[in-house]
Amino acid sequence: MKNYQNKKGFTLIELLVVVAIISLLASVVMASLSSARVKAKDSGTFQALVQMRNALELYRSSFGKYPYEGENQTFQSDSTAFNDFVTDTLVNNKFMSQVPSKPGGDSDSSNNYYIYFTRDNFNVSGDVRTCGQQKVTNYVIGVYSTRALTGIPKFTRISCSASGCDANYYCITS
């Protein structure tokens, strides 16, 4: 009769149970990391808006007015006009180091864009009059996102009454 008590090691069942537990834990960690990635992208978008707002305030401090103040202007980053606007007014004057990258920072962000409105644009187009609950006094720098942005404090949707308004506009204002 053979004595199995001297053999050391794990049975196949024990190994399968350990592998199943490790797989379950790995899936929970991956799900947590996915939401953290989304929050990091949203935070990066918000920081780009804050950087542009700070650059606009520096511009006003240097030149006595905001870019295109008194004009009916809108610039969107899905056109070259926005990059030219940021480059000519903010980067070339050393208020920003570079034009911000596309909001969202992933392949799902191909339709996302930054937008800059002058206050005078609102009375003409009727698109934007408030930034959340805050009255627009000079300009709005904002972002359009194809998905709802999450985890961003003080980042509010643009309230608008025009037809075709989209709920995924977010903004900060002066």
Q: What is the pLDDT of residues 99-121, one digit of tens each?
A: 887 777 655 556 778 888 776 65
Q: For the chain, give the number of residues.
A: 174
The residue behind tokens 């480059």 is: 87
The answer as to whether 28 is a domain residue is: no
Residue 25: pLDDT over 80: yes
Q: In the numeric block, which tokens belong to residue 174?
A: 């002066």
> For residue 94, which of 65, 61, 140, 138 has the smallest C-alpha distance?
61
- CB of 82 closer than 8 Å to CB of 116: yes
pLDDT category at 129 given cuts 50, 70, 90 is low
DSSP 15-65: HHHHHHHHHHHHHHHHHHHHHHHHHHHHHHHHHHHHHHHHHHHHHHHHHSS
Task: Decide: pTM greater than 0.85.
Answer: no
What strands lie across the sheet with 156-159, from one edge to the other?
Answer: 74-76, 113-118, 139-144, 169-173, 156-159, 130-131, 134-135
The rounded percent of the chain whose pLDDT value lies above 70 is 67
The answer as to whether 29 is a domain residue is: no
The answer as to whether 130 is a domain residue is: yes
Cα-Cα end-to-end distance for the chain = 88
Which residues form the domain of 118? Answer: 39-173
Number of domains, the chain? 1
